[in-house]
Chain A
Amino acid sequence: MQSSVSNPLRLGLRQERVIPPQCLIIFGASGDLTHRKLIPALFELFLQRRIPSEFAIVGCARRPWSDEEFKDKMSIKLAKKISKNENEWNQFLKYLFYEPVDLQQELHVERLAKRLTNIDKLQATHGNKTFYLSVSPNFYGSGCKALKKAGLLEDSTKSRVVIEKPFGRDYSSARKLNKIVQSCANESQIYRIDHYLGKETVQNILVLRFANTIFEPIWNRNYISNIQITSSETVGVEDRAGYYETSGALRDMLQNHLTQMLAVISMEPPGRFDPEAIRDEKSKVLQATKLADEEEPWRCCIRGQYQKGGNDVNPLRGYREEPGVDPNSTTETYIATKVFIDNWRWQGVPFYLRTGKRLPKRLGEIVLTFKDVPVHLFESTIINPAPNQLIIRIQPNEGATFKFEVKSPGSGMRSRPVEMEFSYDESFGEPSDEGYVRLLADSMLGDPTLFTRSDEVEAAWKLYTPLIELMENAPWKLPIHKYESKTWGPSESDQLLSKDNIFWRRP
C-alpha cells in the first residue's frame, strides 16, 4: 500500500505567511553561499508562491558583472536544480539584479543607494529592504557602517540586516561588534542567522515541549539524569581550511549551533509565542549555563583532531595533511564539553555537547536520558533495565524515538527495551524546507524568533570564555587528542562521561 506520490490534498494547503513587497540585497553575491543556499532558497520560495510580484534580489560583490551576467552565472550554477522548473526559473530571473559594490568604497555604496531607489520604483517594493551580509565576518562592522552612512538603514521599520555566523571570535569581540552594529541600526533590525534554528526539528522541540502536557512535567532535574547534544559530520575540512584554521570546532559549531540547541531544549516556557518572549527565555538559560568546572576548565572539555583513516581503497587524510592546513596545526576538529545550568529546573543535570569532523555518521541529535527507576522489580534481558531515553533526531531521518522497557515475551517476567518511533518522513511524507528557506522568509517577514539576539550571542561566547582563554594562553592544558578518521572522536572524550558513569550514545 506504500505510495511515493505526494499527498494531493496537501497541495497548496500550507498557509504560509506572505512575504511583503521586498528588495533583498545580497552582499557577497559572487560567493559560494549565494548559489549554494541563498538563491536556491529564494527560488524555492518562488515555487511555493510566497514571493510577491513586487520583489527584487540585488546581488552585490566586487566583480564587475552586469545584471545579465549575474543571471547567467546563477543559471549555470543552478542548472541541475532548475532543470525541472525551467519556465518558473525564467520568471524568477526577472527579479534578479546586480550592482558591483565594494562595501569599503563610500562611492560604491552611494551608487548602490541610487540603484536601489530605481529598483524600488521599478519593482514597487515599497522601500522595504533586507541586506544580507554574506561577506567575511571582518566586514560586518564596516559593512553596517557603510550602509548607515548611505542612509540605507534609516527607516527601522523598512530595513533589516541579516548577518551570517561567526558573530565575533570571543566574548569581547562579539560585544565590540554588537556595539558597532547597534550603532548603525536598532536591535530589531539585526537578524543574526543560525541555520540550525531554521531546521524543522529544532523548531519542533518548542512544539514538542510546549504543546504537549506529558513532557513538561518530567522535563527537569527530578526526572532527567543527563542530556547529550551531538552534531557530527563525516566530511573533513574540505576546501575551508583557511577559515577553519582560525576557527576550529568550538567557534564553528559549539558556540553557535550546539549552544542554540542547548538553549531550545533547556529554556523555560515563554509566556507567549512571541519573538522577544522566546529570545528572553533562551538568553536567560544561556546566562545561567556554566562550564562544569570553571576553575579548572580543562577537566570538562576534550579537544581532538582527526588523523588519517579509511582503508587502502579509500584512504582518508589526517587534518594536518589537508591542503591549506598548517602541518603543526593545533586547531581542534572535535570538541566535547560538559556544562551545567544553574537554575531550579536543571541544577545538577550534566549537559554533554560534542561536535566533530570526520566522524562515522553525519547526524544531529539530542538525547534526554531519564533517571533510573528507584527499585528494579524485574530482571532484565540485559544486565540492568535501560533508562528511558527520548532521542530527538535533528538530521538526518528527522524525528524522535522514545526508548522504554516492556515485558520480554515468554514465561518469565523479564524486561527489555523497545523503541517508539516518530519519523517526519513516515508521518508527513514531505521533505521539510532547507533551513535557509525558512530563515530568509522570516527575515523578510520581519519575524526574528529564529534569529539570535545580541544578549544570546554574548552569553554563548561568555560561556566558553574560560576554554578560549585556555586555548590561547595555556594550550598545553587543553591538548589536542588524536582520533582516527571515521571514529567517534578521541577516547578521552569517552572518559569525560565515564567519570560520571555515563556513556555517549552510539547512534
Chain B
Amino acid sequence: MKPQLTLQTPLELPSEEISNYLNKLWISEGEDNAGANTFSLVVWQPSWLEQRLVKGNLINGPITGNLSEEVINAAKSLILKNGLPLATSLYSKNLFDLIKVDVQDNSSEDLRGQFFEASISTLNPRRLITLAPTFSDNSDIKTFVSAYCPLNEENKDQTICGDLVVVRGGENSILKRGLDIVDELVIRDLPAWLWWNSSLDDSPEIFDYFSKNGKRLIIDTANGSSKRCIDILDNALSDEKSINDLNWLRLKSWRESLAMIFDPPSRRNLLDHVSQVDVDIEGDHIIQALFLISWISAKLGWIFLETSHKSDSLIIKFKRNNEEQVLTAINPLPVGNPSIHSGQVIGLRLISQISNDPEKNTCIILGAESAECMRLEAGGMADMQLIEEVVPSSYLSSEADVSKLLSSSRGSTSPLFEETIKTASLIYKSIN
C-alpha cells in the first residue's frame, strides 16, 4: 500500500465551505507555515478498473486510486483466463466487460485522493485536488478536505505542507457542479496542472473542459484509442494549448540511446544513408512507435510519402533529401509479460546503406533486452557492421512518470514533441 498522506481522515464539508476552511487552516498555522509555494495538481482519477474489481469482489478494498500490484495481477489473470490478448490495455472496454459489478454494493471504502506515491508528495504540491467519479452517474457530489505535511527524509526539520481536496460523485454531477468546485479551489497565483489519469477515451466532455481551460495538461497516450490520442494532440497544437504526454516521456531512453550512437562525429555520416527503420512494439497500440519514427524523420529532414500495411505491420515510407526512399515499419509483437503501458517500444533497428561503399553498411540495433537484440540481428544483418545497445527499460508507475515530468517541465509543450506530433498526425491521417 502506498503511503497515506493525511494522518487524519479527510473531513467531509459542503463544497461552499472548503475555501473558507482552508484559508482559516493556513492562517491559524501562522506565517511560518503558510503552505508550500509550489503548484496545484488536479487529478482526474476514475480508477474504473479498480472500482470494478472491488465491486466485483475480485480484490479487497478499499479503493485507493493507485494501480497497485493487486489490481494489475487481478486484471492480468482475467485477461489470461478469458483468452484476451496478453497486451490488452488495463483501460480496455473488453476487460471491463469481463467484470460483473454489483453497482448497489457500496460497502467498500473509497479512499481515492488520500494515497499518492512519495515521488509526487515530496514535490510538495500546494494543493492536490482529486476528481473521483463513481459508478452511479447522478450520485451527489461530496467533498472532503485535509492538510498534509510529507516528511522530507533529507531535511527532517523542514516540513512543507499542502492540502488536499477530494471531489467525489457521479460523472454527471461532476460535470454539472464538480468542475466549478475545482475551478474555485485552484490557487490562482500558482501553476496548475491537470493529470488525466485514465483512458483518453473516457468522459470526453470533461476532458474537453480541462483541455480548454488553461491548465497544464498531462495525458498518457498509452491509454486510449490511437485516433482519439492523435485528435487530442492535434487539437492541443492548433489551439496552442500546452500538453505533456507520459508516453512521450517514456520514449526518452530510446531517443537518448539512439542519439548517443551518433554522438561520435565519425558515425554521423551514417545518418545520411538510412534506408530502413524497424520499430517493434508490445501489442498493437502504435502511438509510441509512431512518435519514435516521427521524431527520427523530423530530425533527419525526411519527407513523408505514404503508409501501407504488410501483415500486422504498418509500413511508412519517407523520402530523404537525396530523393532516396526510407522504409520504416511498426511491428506489433506478442510478448509474455507486457508493460502496464500499452504499445511500448521494445526494439529499434536502423539500417544505413552506403551504395558506393557496401563494406560500411551498418545496422544499428537497440533492444529492450538482449533477446530482442538477437531477434533484430537475424536476417542477414550480420553481414553489416553491427552496433548494438540494450536500452534499459524501467517501467515506472504513472505517478513516478508524472513526478519526473513535474520536476523537469514548466508545462509548455516541448518543441521536440510539438515537431513530433505534427509528423505523427500527418502519418496517422494517411492510414486506411
A15 touches B299 (CB 8 A): no
What chain B residues lie within 8 Å of A428 (beta carbons)? 263-264
A18 touches B410 (CB 8 A): yes
What chain B residues lie within 8 Å of A18 (beta carbons)? 408-410
A9 touches B255 (CB 8 A): yes
A1 touches B415 (CB 8 A): no
Closest B residue to A428 by beta carbon equals B263
- Given A12-B416, A13-B416, the answer on whether A7 and B263 have CB atoms closer than 8 Å is yes
Per-residue CB proximity of A214-246 to B under 8 Å, as 1/0?
A: 000000000000000000000000000000000
B264 touches A10 (CB 8 A): no
Tell which of B252, B271, B301 touches A15, judged by Cβ atoms closer than 8 Å: B252
Per-residue CB proximity of B382-408 to A under 8 Å, as 1/0?
A: 000000000000000000000000001
Interface residues of A in 1-48 (CB under 8 A from B): 1-5, 7-13, 15, 17-18
The dominant DSSP class at the B interface is helix
What chain A residues lie within 8 Å of B255 (beta carbons)? 9, 13
Tally of A-B residue pairs with Cβ under 8 A? 66
Q: How many residues of A contact B (CB 8 A)?
A: 26
A427 touches B264 (CB 8 A): yes
A429 touches B415 (CB 8 A): no
Tell which of A11, A17, A426 touches B299, judged by Cβ atoms closer than 8 Å: A11
Residue of B256, B259, B269, B415 with most partner-chain A CB within 10 A: B259
Asked if B213 is at the interface (CB within 8 A of a chain A CB), the reply is no
Closest B residue to A8 by beta carbon equals B299
B263 touches A52 (CB 8 A): no
B256 touches A426 (CB 8 A): no
What chain A residues lie within 8 Å of B360 (beta carbons)? 1
A9 touches B409 (CB 8 A): no
**B24 vs chain A, min Cβ distance (A):** 25
Asked if A433 is at the interface (CB within 8 A of a chain B CB), the reply is no
**B9 vs chain A, min Cβ distance (A):** 32
Asked if A88 is at the interface (CB within 8 A of a chain B CB), the reply is no
Per-residue CB proximity of A163-191 to B under 8 Å, as 1/0?
A: 00000000000000000000000000000
A3 touches B263 (CB 8 A): no
Tell which of B37, B252, B269, B299 touches A9, judged by Cβ atoms closer than 8 Å: B299
What chain A residues lie within 8 Å of B252 (beta carbons)? 15
What chain B residues lie within 8 Å of A86 (beta carbons)? none
Q: How many residues of B sit at the interface, in one of the four size bands?
A: 20 to 34
Asked if A477 is at the interface (CB within 8 A of a chain B CB), the reply is no
Q: A11–B424 Cα gap in the complex (Å)?
A: 19
**A95 vs chain B, min Cβ distance (A):** 17
**A48 vs chain B, min Cβ distance (A):** 12
Q: A5–B299 Cα gap in the complex (Å)?
A: 13
**A420 vs chain B, min Cβ distance (A):** 16
Tell which of A2, A8, A13, A157 touches B265, judged by Cβ atoms closer than 8 Å: A2
Per-residue CB proximity of B233-261 to A under 8 Å, as 1/0?
A: 00000000000000000001001101100
Asked if B268 is at the interface (CB within 8 A of a chain A CB), the reply is yes
The dominant DSSP class at the A interface is loop
Closest B residue to A52 by beta carbon equals B410
Tell which of B37, B259, B416 touches A7, judged by Cβ atoms closer than 8 Å: B259
Asked if A274 is at the interface (CB within 8 A of a chain B CB), the reply is yes
B266 touches A9 (CB 8 A): no
What chain A residues lie within 8 Å of B335 (beta carbons)? none
**B274 vs chain A, min Cβ distance (A):** 11
What chain A residues lie within 8 Å of B301 (beta carbons)? 8
Asked if A63 is at the interface (CB within 8 A of a chain B CB), the reply is no
Closest B residue to A54 by beta carbon equals B410
Q: A274–B154 Cα gap in the complex (Å)?
A: 10
- Given A1-B360, A15-B408, A18-B409, the answer on whether A9 and B265 have CB atoms closer than 8 Å is no
What chain A residues lie within 8 Å of B408 (beta carbons)? 15, 17-18
B296 touches A3 (CB 8 A): no
Interface residues of A in 49-100 (CB under 8 A from B): 49, 52
Tell which of B256, B264, B271, B409 touches A429, judged by Cβ atoms closer than 8 Å: B264
What chain B residues lie within 8 Å of A426 (beta carbons)? 264-266
Interface residues of A in 377-428 (CB under 8 A from B): 425-428
What chain B residues lie within 8 Å of A274 (beta carbons)? 154
Closest 8 CB pairs between A and B?
A429-B265, A3-B268, A9-B259, A12-B416, A3-B269, A8-B299, A10-B259, A1-B269
Query: Could you name 27 residue pairs across A and B whose Cβ atoms are closer than 8 Å?
Result: A1-B266, A1-B267, A1-B269, A1-B270, A2-B269, A3-B266, A3-B269, A4-B265, A7-B263, A7-B268, A9-B255, A9-B271, A9-B296, A9-B300, A10-B259, A10-B263, A12-B415, A13-B255, A13-B416, A17-B408, A18-B410, A49-B415, A157-B37, A426-B264, A427-B263, A427-B264, A428-B263
